[in-house]
Amino acid sequence: MTTMTRTRAGGYDWLSIWRQMYDAERAQGEAATDPAFGRSSDTWAGRAGRYAAASRRRAQPDAFMAALTPRLRPTDRVIDVGAGTGRYLPYLATQVAEVIAVEPSPAMLSELERTLSDEGVTNVRVLAEGWPLARPLDADVIISSHVVYGVREIGPFLEAIDRAARRLCALYLGLKHPTTALAPFWERVHGQKRLPLPAALETVAACHQLGLPARLELVPAPEAFRFPSAEEALEEIRARLRLTPDPSRDAAILAAMAELLVPVEDEQLAPREQQRYAGLIWWQPETITSAASS
């Protein structure tokens, strides 16, 4: 297969822009963090349970799985990079021969194992590590959903996906980071606009700079945030603002919730504005070399 010509969209170095966006967002978050805010080497500690509960409320196949399923074969091995709580694993396991779930977070892994146990899934292998893998594996299809936002060095991440895939690479992510829906709360409480992380459009630009022939398809986006109660909304928004419970701050968050959240079915609450579309970024794997000289 002929390697695609590398293209810097607009002439920009998107790998460098990616790092700059990542570092600026992280620095802003650190500067706003309450000194008493719980810190852990596992960024999902304390949040994995809420995330798992929200994922389990969403029926499968969702828009990502609906778009992916026609491209799968019953004999496929699929690697799910950043499998999280395992929301896709029970469904994927019915479509292919084997799934390898890669997930480094202990908190997420605990929920993932629960998902597999509850669903009686037997053809999923779990690897408790990050990506790229220490000992590379290959598969027919590599997928990754809502993971790249938290990756600083996107070049090696994408190159490793390309090298590991025999037939298809597929990434699913928002056109903007999903927490954009909560950005108005950041501005209300912290008094500044929330800086964005790179998302789907930056990923496509990075792929083409690496010589990966990525295509972008728009698919319907589910609501990124839907809260079963005001109490859970307050808890999640407070955590996203990197704050601890405090009467005056909680009062400010509750006042913002009254304006920025609206009731939806089953007496749940959701932000007024959420993304209508997400991006399915896919390509057939190419043989590539490092983009350091591109």
pLDDT average, residue stretch 122-136: 96
**Which residues fall within 8 angstroms of residue 222, CB to CB, at 6 or more apart?**
58, 62, 63
pLDDT of residue 233: 95
pLDDT of residue 148: 97
Of the candidates 251, 273, 249, the residue with the CA atom closest to the CA atom of residue 261: 273
C-alpha torsion angle, residues 141, 160, 134, 200 (rounded to 10)? -80
Mean pLDDT of the chain: 91
Does the pLDDT at position 292 exceed 50? no
Give all domains of the chain, ordered by start, each with its CATH number: 41-146+156-172 (3.40.50.150)
Residue 101 CA neighbour count, 13 Å, CB half? 27
Place 289 in a pLDDT band, splitting at 50, 70 and 90.
Answer: very low
pLDDT of residue 2: 39
Predicted confidence (pLDDT) per residue in 188-218, tens digit:
999 999 999 999 999 999 999 999 999 999 9
Residue type, 103: E
Place 290 in a pLDDT band, splitting at 50, 70 and 90.
Answer: very low
pLDDT average, residue stretch 29-38: 90
Are the C-beta atoms of residues 207 and 283 closer than 8 Å to each other?
Answer: yes
Distances (CA, A) of 12 to 103, 142, 209: 32, 28, 9
pLDDT of residue 56: 75
pLDDT of residue 44: 65
> From its phi and psi, is residue 266 left (phi > 0), alpha (psi between -120 and 50) or beta?
left
Are the C-beta atoms of residues 240 and 184 closer than 8 Å to each other?
Answer: no
CA 218, CA 276: separation in Å to the nearest integer?
10
Predicted confidence (pLDDT) per residue in 231-255, tens digit:
999 999 999 999 999 999 999 999 9
Report the percentage of the chain scoring pLDDT > 90. Answer: 80
Burial of 31 (0-12, 13-18, 19+ CB in 10 A): exposed
Predicted confidence (pLDDT) per residue in 138-188, tens digit:
999 999 999 999 999 999 999 999 999 999 999 999 999 999 999 999 999
Helices (H), 79-199: 89-95, 106-119, 154-164, 183-190
Place 37 in a pLDDT band, splitting at 50, 70 and 90.
Answer: confident
Distances (CA, A) of 279 to 3, 150, 173, 269: 24, 17, 5, 25
pLDDT average, residue stretch 265-288: 88
Q: Can you say how many angstroms the Cα of residue 188 is from the centroid of all Cα atoms in its chain?
A: 25
Structure-token match 């295509």, residue found: 215
CA 4, CA 110: separation in Å to the nearest integer?
40
